[in-house]
Structure 1
């Protein structure tokens, strides 16, 4: 024995008996072993049990492997909340490749950039998105193998872009495909792109360890008992559905797929499938509450609803409670696997006056159990700000559910991790009880319907119009969407253009959901150095 080593270090090494890399892939394997006949996926009239879910995921992995897909290869998917998206969350990483889920609302230019930047080898795409994907592929430099998905429950007539059909591709795979856990739990599992505040979006890389831990933390945070029924209103392309595609397998729950977010479909599925949990942006609450009376259903039990983005107003929370939903506010970013902060409600707050309860609910909250540390720090000194609820600082994260970094962008990665913390760019305060509350976004990101919109990106489009001399875009509060882009524009001398014409111009040059909903023509407020005072515009937007 080495006399220089502690007894706790001698002969106590890692081996196959006492160590395995953490990976969420193990959750599905266990669910299939223990609850093979439990319904895992509901999609239209389809019912898929865990035995079949696991088999099909292995077949997908097998077929991808036959194409030569392996470690660190990128498989991109353009899919809505349909069964193949769930299968991809297991089948792709079973080959040790990286899953790249694309936002189905993006325009062709951004999609092409992502395909190229990710070095896409295989693309699985729904025929619903054939027009935009065809254009994107014509722009992109990469030439991936294209696999078309035809939804048997909700047929789409978009043209086929490849030579392979998804169902045939899966069926050609080996149901006994011998997959293994990652060589290292730090290996990449997925790639998600931010909206990008300047220039092109950044590719956020997740690892198996973080996905495993955040998936478990979701179950704890949501107080999920065994066999929950989860309705997919949150897009799975968004931070891998906040890791819930993996969370539900932990408790052998049921995924209820939802191809399109429609009030009638949501109410019917919630009632008919006995849904217990769902996640979504404030727009989902508005859609449910504003549905015609004849579409609403009486619910047998209270449904847990988890929302992010701007905290909903007290009137909405009260209406949701009456409708049968208990709303919990979460906060996070793409860089921390989705939600990593929760407004953990304390029972003694129920006795507070409603106004004080609303103040409590407006706060983002405390760290997830899987997050090691959450602080509001001075961005220059990294000293904690006073916990007085008024001193502004930057919200920073530290722990296992922080991204590996930005793909092919060491400078941005270094900046994000400066001083040993992940810098969120969000400004907030720390309250005396340790709960944080956001006050502003230093990145000027607008969160509309749960989607991040870069104000700078919208401004860049506005500046392309010859009539625009100066432009600034800020968030305008919106009861339905949470926030919408509001543009303040100074026109060039002699120019004449209407609000509708300028909005139409923006829609021609970017994804429609990013275009401003409101345009105000005015002289922009500026500092003595000529910098536009966005804080003044934000206040003005609130009054519109």
Structure 2
């Protein structure tokens, strides 16, 4: 099956005989009494019923419907329901700061907001008026808001067809350096150009009919909407949906249905890493690991590859952006993870996706091309480029450079066509790559869950080491920092002390402000 219409995706899969069984670590927020085991036909019925409920709430074709709720895959079911009745879903992480969330809602001006009672209370307290003309809660009934389970599910629910170039869905960027941007994708850019390319059984890396696929994600972000189209189309035997990356919470489901393919956020791989050290670890059958959003630090990558008992497990690392989808990919093996230069391998992002993307590197000040092997601003050309930013058209236009798209990343294009990522332009420091230095520190500090280097208000490096208990031996730091650019003693924090995006990325500007009271960035021109 080739994905096309996200509003009828589950109907078409059910009609085609898809027998995938979906196992959840907790019930859907929009179906709390329906259990944790779902078939494709049950999911299709849930999407139809939810679409009817949204229509009963007053949602009409062309309306924007914002969704901000607890993390679960029903973000995408709500989005498919909105698409089914001709609306445009806008998926917003409930982990956003209230100020950022209300800013995005003000830019969106949605006809309806589907949310929880807690998030609605936050928005009402922070804003002068209601966050949307119609507010719908998924958990408990709230005065002045509709309650999703109480809405009529028996009415007509479409489907309403739209042109492939009309807006399909809106996602926001991670927001590591400030207020996230709202990115508009169409059916052509997200489904035809991205999902269809991935929904092919590529040898070795394609999803097979007998696979048990596990995902641990931030379901309000762009990757999972595309992932939903791919997985429902390819119909593996089973799919595990984890909403939490707490090892003790995830372990029972992983052991009950041992995965053969795992896709997770980099931060979730880090959090679940203790499971790889258990004698009967749940990753023994994994043949393929997939990571997106950000690079995974080498010690984490190596731990998972060693945990698999397959003879040749692979790790597929993708680099891309909300605006573009995947741009490059590369593979890691046990051998490469244990190589002497393993501490720098994950920043080597591989080559552009064949036929799909082109890359070039320019001087960020003059915009003139730089020779291969020299660092500069990474530009890309792809047919999957989104349609724009909601409420910020000038910002969108400013990132176009002579037919190319400025990613905002600083990197190196090598002679063999591969690319290495050095830093975000807004985070770079003179004379060093923060990302490369972080990899080296993590390689040398096994007790570190994460190492981060931000810049203080004077532009000097400020290292942060994240450990399980918020402590680090001074001698261990001194030894790890030898041979690196001069670094002051680190700030040591526990995981929950670090400000993060909905995908688990460190909000570097917020972290610098938390530590120093101020934050310095690069030019910010390309963010």
Confirm or deny a common fold (TM above 0.5).
Answer: yes
Which of residues 169, 176, 188 is equivalent to 1:209? 188
**Larger Rg computed on CA atoms:** 1
- For residues 344-392 of structure 1, the C-alpha deviation after alignment (integer angstroms, 9 at most, x for no partner) is 45x8x958981256554431122235733233334567665333xx311
Hey, what does 2:170 align to over in structure 1? 191
Offset, 1:428: 0.7
Which of residues 149, 153, 163 is equivalent to 2:138? 149
Q: Does 1:165 align with 2:147?
A: yes
Which of residues 361, 372, 393 is equivalent to 2:357? 372
Moved more, 269-278 or 356-365: 356-365
Hey, what does 2:482 align to over in structure 1? none
Compared with structure 1, are the counterparts of its residues 105 and 161 closer, same or farther at alpha carbon in structure 2 (3 Å cutoff)? farther
Offset, 1:255: 4.2
- For residues 404-427 of structure 1, the C-alpha deviation after alignment (integer angstroms, 9 at most, x for no partner) is 111132211211123111111111
In structure 1, stretches of 5+ residues that fail to align are: 1-19, 151-157, 460-469, 482-498, 525-530, 536-544
- For residues 295-317 of structure 1, the C-alpha deviation after alignment (integer angstroms, 9 at most, x for no partner) is 96344511532224553443332
Which of residues 242, 248, 251 is equivalent to 1:258? 242
In 2, the alpha carbon distance for the partners of 1:234 and 1:352 equals: 24
Compared with structure 1, are the counterparts of its residues 276 and 340 closer, same or farther at alpha carbon in structure 2 (3 Å cutoff)? farther
In 1, the alpha carbon distance for the partners of 2:414 and 2:221 equals: 29
- For residues 328-351 of structure 1, the C-alpha deviation after alignment (integer angstroms, 9 at most, x for no partner) is 2221122114x3321245x8x958
Hey, what does 2:511 align to over in structure 1? 516
Offset, 1:60: 2.1
- For residues 117-146 of structure 1, the C-alpha deviation after alignment (integer angstroms, 9 at most, x for no partner) is 10121111135645534435x445543322
Offset, 1:90: 1.1
SS at match of 2:378: strand
Hey, what does 1:437 align to over in structure 2? 420
- For residues 36-86 of structure 1, the C-alpha deviation after alignment (integer angstroms, 9 at most, x for no partner) is 554245353422211121122122223323444234311111133435323
Hey, what does 1:341 align to over in structure 2? 328
In 2, the alpha carbon distance for the partners of 1:242 and 1:474 equals: 37
SS at match of 2:216: coil
SS at match of 2:137: strand
Output aligned runs, 1:48-447, within 5 Å: 48-127=38-117, 129=119, 131-136=121-126, 138-140=127-129, 142-150=131-139, 160=142, 163-169=145-151, 172-174=153-155, 177-182=157-162, 184-195=163-174, 200-212=179-191, 213-220=193-200, 222-226=205-209, 228-241=211-224, 243-253=226-236, 254-291=238-275, 297-308=281-292, 311-324=295-308, 326-337=314-325, 339-344=326-331, 350=335, 354-356=339-341, 359-369=344-354, 371-379=356-364, 384-387=369-372, 390-444=373-427
In structure 2, stretches of 5+ residues that fail to align are: 27-34, 429-433, 439-448, 469-490
Compared with structure 1, are the counterparts of its residues 97 and 476 closer, same or farther at alpha carbon in structure 2 (3 Å cutoff)? farther
What TM-score comes out, normalization by structure 2 length? 0.73
Cα contact 2:362–2:379 (8 A) shared by 1: yes
Compared with structure 1, are the counterparts of its residues 374 and 271 closer, same or farther at alpha carbon in structure 2 (3 Å cutoff)? farther
What TM-score comes out, normalization by structure 1 length? 0.71
In 2, the alpha carbon distance for the partners of 1:351 and 1:454 equals: 25
